[in-house]
Chains A and B, each alone.
Chain A
Amino acid sequence: MKPVIGLEVHIELKTKSKMFCGCSADYFGKKPNTHTCPVCLGLPGTLPVPNKTAIKWCVMLGMALNCNIPLFSKFDRKNYFYPDLPKGYQISQYDKPFAINGYIDLNSQISNSKSQINSKFKNKNSKRIRIRRVHMEEDTGKLTHGSVSGENVTLIDFNRSGVPLVEIVTEPDFDNAGDVKDYLQKLQQIVRYLGISNADMEKGDMRLEPNISVLKLKSQNPKVKTELPDYKVEVKNINSFRFVEKAIEFEIKRQSEILKKDETPAQETRGWNEAKQKTIMQRVKEESSDYRYFPEPDIPPIRWTRKDLENIKKQIPELPNSKKERFIKEYGLTGYDTQILIREKETADYFEGAVRAGSKDNIKPKTIANLIINKKINMEETLPSSLIKSIIKTSSYGKINTDKIIKAVGEVLNENPQAFKDYKDGKTQVLQFLVGNTIKKLKERVDPKIIVEVINKK
């Protein structure tokens, strides 16, 4: 039994305005139907004009996912009816999306602590997940179901209607839930690094729909080409990372049991029910809904020049994989430590800021890394330079050989007898001079307090 899983992920972009109109895209938690305009409400006579930044960010994401960016792209209408879709069609992309044929490499799920720590060496067990396409579309309104005056109703808020969405579709290259989680974490990390979305599953700006099938293998020989299964089940409503693995594992189990009975699981859409911890049938999935795609006549196509794409590429910040390799090389950190430091771009940037601040005092990057990883540093309240200061205060001065200090102090006092006399006579400002000279002699950072102690003893 081989699970065959493909993923569709939707990322809501955090642009200032919506995809096809100027309404603010910052709709979360706002009073209903206060972020709408004729365009995103689908009033008669309206026309869409695409958001330049949203398109750029979609291409950036495609590039970050190693995609090919075709020079010609267009929008299409996806026609279907649902109360949350005001125009009766969604503007999306059908056959000429912004990005195609990319990939994300996962590290192997085989638990191998050695391979995690020694990731200076290329992980031979990394798995490649192919990305079929990355395209742009618009979000729908939000439905809530309830009861008003005894009647069962659906209530609609169009604040979300028209917010830019990027859809990332993979080939069905997954065969286990763990890899899916790994992929999602990597994707989320890349999206956050690019600064194009908060990609928060709980808030709904990252949504996942796995398509899950299980293949009854005819042959155990992995080299024999197997066909794709003749059905697939779409699972919706997985709203948190916590439940991604659970939901997929449940579904694989459910389908395997049906197949064991020599039956074929129904092609359908199921919803993950967090309370019951199982998937429940929502509706039967028709072969493929007839969306009657045709090119969007209201939006002229997009044609890039190579220069346009180069300019966009330049705007991509260093991505996690590259940053990881560089950190290991440049700072001599372990793969494990690096993984933690780069998990969020803000942390990685903070770390490097601290390294720069500490460079003149020869503070080792590893020292800084350890501190950041092991102590809960409040990065917003502690500037990197302040962090360095505290390191200097509390670091291993004490470990310096006290004899060395005594010796150095002795030499300084011998070389500066007048200063020593002045200090003994009560001129405390001379102390700084004596301490400074001692430190110079030692050629190391020492806690001045210790030196003062030694001087005072003399």
Chain B
Amino acid sequence: MKIDVKHVAKLANLPLSGDEEEKFERQLASIIEYVEKLNETDVGNVEETSQITGLENVTREDHPKPSLSQDEALSNAKSKHNGLFKVKKVL
């Protein structure tokens, strides 16, 4: 099963070079082949596990807490302007 690496990389917001596309296509093909092992088993009516803790109903009260300062929030941004994060214009 070959992965359409170009398409998937686009979904993943991951710019790849042509070489990388080729390399990953090859490497991932063998991994996909391996994980398809799972198709051997018939799991029947088993429930999916998405929460291993068994916890339920974990919520917090609606009490406001202090926020970061504007400086702290922006402290690691490479590009900012007037207290806002700045990027190249998006559509």
Contact = CB atoms under 8 A, between A and B. Distances in A.
Interface of A: 15-17, 21-25, 31-38, 41, 49-55, 74, 81-83, 88, 143-145, 148, 151-158, 282-283, 290, 292, 294-295, 297, 299-303
B91 A283 contact: yes
A89 B8 CA distance: 16
9 shortest A-B CB distances, which residue pairs? A22-B65, A53-B62, A300-B55, A155-B84, A52-B59, A295-B50, A152-B89, A156-B85, A81-B13
A17 B60 CA distance: 10
B64 A16 contact: yes
Contacts of A294: 50
29 contacts: A16-B64, A17-B63, A22-B63, A23-B65, A23-B67, A31-B83, A32-B83, A33-B73, A34-B69, A36-B67, A36-B68, A37-B68, A50-B58, A50-B59, A51-B59, A51-B60, A51-B62, A52-B62, A83-B85, A88-B13, A153-B89, A154-B86, A155-B84, A290-B11, A295-B50, A300-B51, A300-B55, A300-B56, A300-B58
Classify chain B: how many residues form its interface, as a range. Answer: 20 to 34
Interface in B5-61: 11, 13, 50-51, 53, 55-61
Contacts of B69: 34
Contact of B88 (A33, A41, A154): A154
A32 B89 contact: no
B13 to A, nearest CB: 4
Q: Which of A23, A88, A154, A294 has the most B CB atoms < 10 Å from its CB?
A: A154
A88 B87 CA distance: 15
B84 A292 contact: no
Nearest to B13: A81
B81 interface: yes
Nearest to B89: A152
Contacts of B82: 32, 155
A22 B64 contact: yes
Nearest to B8: A290
A31 to B, nearest CB: 6
Contacts of B13: 81, 88
A159 to B, nearest CB: 9
A52 B67 contact: no
A34 B70 contact: yes
B57 A300 contact: yes
A155 B84 CA distance: 6
A148 B53 CA distance: 49
Nearest to B54: A300
A53 B63 CA distance: 10
Given A33-B83, A51-B60, 19 more contacts: A16-B63, A17-B62, A31-B70, A32-B82, A34-B69, A50-B59, A50-B60, A52-B60, A52-B62, A81-B13, A143-B90, A152-B89, A153-B86, A153-B87, A156-B84, A158-B73, A294-B50, A297-B50, A302-B56
